[in-house]
Amino acid sequence: MTTSDELRDGCDSHEGAEDAGDNPVTTQQGPELPEIKPLSDSQRWMVVAAFAAAVVVLYLLAPILAPFAVGVLLAYVGDPLVDKLEARGLSRTGAVVTVFVAIFVVLIAVAVVLVPMLEHQIIALVRGIPRNIDWIQTNLMPALKEALGVEGRILELDQVKRAVAQHWQKAGGMLVGVVADLSKSGAAVAGWIANVVLVPVVTFYLLRDWDMLVERIHGLIPRSVERVAGRVARDCDEMLAEFFRGQLLVMAGLATIYSVGLSLVGLELALLIGLTAGIVSFVPYLGFFVGFVLAAVAAFFQFQEWLPVAYVGGVFAVGQAIEGMLLTPLLVGDRIGLHPVAVIFAVLAGGQLFGFVGVLVSLPAAAVIMVLLRHAHERYITSDLYHD
């Protein structure tokens, strides 16, 4: 755990053991943790009931929570910028309007630039499937048949080819198709418009009242656990800040590196594969593995030579080196420390329990849970149960 003065605020230094001979196991004692007054049985049941009720309510409201979750995320990311502008003499409302406009201008600009490019690359991907199937049937399948002694047809590739040839046009005009489908249902249109409108509205009001909401929540914490809760909240805030302002920047940096590098190689699907590799890079080495496999296959089918595949390997090797030596140490550090298996489990569990909202908040929730487990571990190793 960190030894910064902020996280140790209110914590007294721990006294050394009075009699080392009474304890055969020598442990390194850290700062004394604030004492928590034991809860009565009725209070424990009230806490359990409140927690269970909160989980049930979140589960039932999951279908409508997406715009609120996005609004909370944007407000949390933008609040430090608002505080800095406010410290320089700008009013709270003026600072909120400035940051609010900046956030949504960036998001809209990114969408306007990327969506048409991605749509074009998806069309190119679908158009190339029949050509790639021909190559597999002409070159790969005879080689596999000769090497493995497989008789007959392993895959019905002709049917796949015919299906793609008949329906590839549907890959184009995705946005038009989505709008057309939504227009068939008034409820779907209303829900879609409500989500689009709610995100900026929720973000604006949360940004404006963020500090006040934090103070009110702090005021509701029972005084007996206020010191402990404050320490845990500071740790969680530090962890989430490093995740959002670090890991997301690393993902964006890797997506840029991979996309630009693959474009220099001449790969038609450079942007699509680069973005995919950058997005899944929140799991260590997964972005590298997935991106390299997809890019290598795409390069081989596009050029039908091995030299471009080697160039693709060089692009991902350079990206991995930049991430390990520059991006992660500079932007993230070693404070988050979520195990790759824990990351995968958190994403899958969040999606299973709460759908899209669960996927959106799974990693921040996992980071907070890890902080809580660290504090629970601290209390356990200083408890009578551990030493006795």
Per residue in 198-250, pLDDT tens? Answer: 888 888 899 899 889 988 988 888 777 778 888 888 888 877 877 777 778 88
The more confidently predicted of residues 146 and 221 is: 221
Q: What would the pLDDT profile of 352-377 be if each residue is shown by its tens digit?
A: 887 777 777 787 888 888 888 888 88
φ and ψ at 131, to 5 degrees?
-65, -40
Dihedral over Cα of 232, 233, 234, 238: its sign? positive
What confidence category does residue 167 fall into, taking pLDDT thresholds of 50, 70 and 90? low
Compare 153 and 243 and report the one with higher pLDDT: 243
For residues 363 and 343, the answer to whether their CB atoms sit within 8 Å is yes
The model scores a pTM over 0.85: no
Q: Give the per-residue SS3 of 130-159.
A: HHHHHHHHHHHHHHHHHHHCCCCCCCCHHH
Which pLDDT value is given to residue 258? 94
CA 41 – CA 234 distance, rounded (Å):
29
Distance of alpha carbon 316 from alpha carbon 295, whole angstroms: 9
* Average pLDDT rounded to a whole number, residues 87-112: 88
What pLDDT, on a 0 to 100 scale, did the predictor assign at position 29?
A: 47
pLDDT(183) > 70: no
Rounded to whole angstroms, the Cα distance separating 257 from 324 reads 13
Helices of type H across 168-225: 174-183, 186-220
CA distance 1 to 234: 12
Residues 6+ apart with CB under 8 A from 375: 228, 231, 232, 235
Q: Share the mean pLDDT of the chain.
A: 76
Determine the average pLDDT of the residues in 155-177: 53
- Counting residues of the chain whose pLDDT is more than 90, the rounded percentage is 12
Distance CA 309, CA 315 (A): 10
Question: Each residue of 256-315: pLDDT tens digit?
Answer: 999 999 999 999 889 999 999 998 887 778 889 999 999 998 898 888 888 999 999 999
Residue bearing tokens 């302002």: 245
